[in-house]
Amino acid sequence: MSDLTAELLVLGSASAIPTLEHENTHLLVVGKEDLILIDCPNNLVVPLQKRGFDPLKVTHLILTHFHADHVAGVAPFLMSSWLMGRRQPLHLYGLEETLWRFEKMMELFQWETWNGLFPIEIHRLPPQRMYLAFQSEQFEVYSSPVHHLIDTVGLRIRNRWTGECIAYSCDTEPCEEVVELAQGCKALIHEAVGAYRGHTSPQQAGEIARRAEAQSLYLIHYPSENEQVHTWEALARTTFDGVVGLAQDGLKIPF
C-beta closer to Zn ion: residue 148 or 186: 148
**Which of 164, 171, 191, 233 is close enough to bind Zn ion by CB under 5 A?**
171
Least separation in angstroms between residue 149's CB and Zn ion is 6
Distance between CA atoms of 154 and 139, rounded to whole angstroms?
16
Residue 16's Cβ-count burial label (10 Å; 0-12, 13-18, 19+) is: middle
Per CB under 5 A, contacts with Zn ion among 39-68 are 67
First to last CA, the chain: 9
Distance between CA atoms of 4 and 51, rounded to whole angstroms?
21
CB 251 within 8 A of CB 14: no
C-beta closer to Zn ion: residue 26 or 67: 67
CB 69 within 8 A of CB 16: yes
> Of the ranges 55-63, 101-109, 125-133, 167-175, which one interacts with Zn ion (CB under 5 A)?
167-175
Least separation in angstroms between residue 105's CB and Zn ion is 16
> Of the ranges 4-12, 50-58, 165-173, 233-241, which one interacts with Zn ion (CB under 5 A)?
165-173
Least separation in angstroms between residue 250's CB and Zn ion is 22
**Entry field: residues in the chain:** 255
> Of the ranges 168-176, 186-194, 199-207, 233-241, which one interacts with Zn ion (CB under 5 A)?
168-176
Contact positions toward Zn ion, by CB under 5 A? 67, 171
